[in-house]
Structure 1
Amino acid sequence: MLSQGSAYSVYMVYKLANDSYGLTDGYYGQELPVQKASVSVGGTHQTRKVCLQPNPQRSMRRNYHAALPRKRADGWIELELGEFICEGHEYGDVSFGLSEMNDLRRKNGLIVQGIEIRHKI
């Protein structure tokens, strides 16, 4: 149950396998990949650029204007996909997604623990 009029954030909790490919590294010297995260509830749809790389180089951080993940104390990584406000409708769906923006090559090694919806303070 979500509280009416409250703001929430949606987080993906994940790890990257040691042999992950195409998620955090550029191909053949290309730039760091940036993905598109989306959160929808009711008629509201929000998208933002995100990066799965937990520690991109400083020069890359400036150029992307993308949300960056953070490492948690339990060893997992969390990335805020977006946020929404609960309008108080008794029934409704919250949808979220993560998709590639430009590079449609093969990717592997994303281990998703789950999605967390947290009340914003």
Structure 2
Amino acid sequence: MWTSNRKQDGRTQEAPGDVGVVTLGGDPAGVYLSGERRWVAVYAPGGYQWRPAVGEKVLVLKAGDHQESPCLVGVRQSEQQLEPGAVRLSGGEGQIDLCKDGIRLTGQVWIGEQTLEDYVAAIAREVTLEILGGG
């Protein structure tokens, strides 16, 4: 009978992975799957950190013997165009595209506490003073 296959050990069988929507951003996150799950750990490749934002579609894998430990492992990519082989890092208003023809930066670039423009201007001042003998 079909109902005999629906439950195993008194539990409804869940898929080992599911797509959900973030309800609480950050790490740990809250994700709506078949119901809201809180304290969902966020995973990323080594050396890389990210925080999911409310409303993002995410992939959740369910770890543990009884799939009791949900793990947020990725976010649905945007529909923006990206050439084959390219890599894009984005967050807020900033974006870095690593492309076959170079690197494209979008947004304000900072070097330490200075904007790139201020950093270059300071170097230009130093070089000018050296050339004119004032440094």
Looking at secondary structure, tell me which structure has more helix per residue.
2
Larger RCO: 1 or 2 (CA < 8 Å, sep 6+): 1
State TM-score, norm by structure 1: 0.22
State TM-score, norm by structure 2: 0.20
Q: Which has the larger radius of gyration?
A: 2
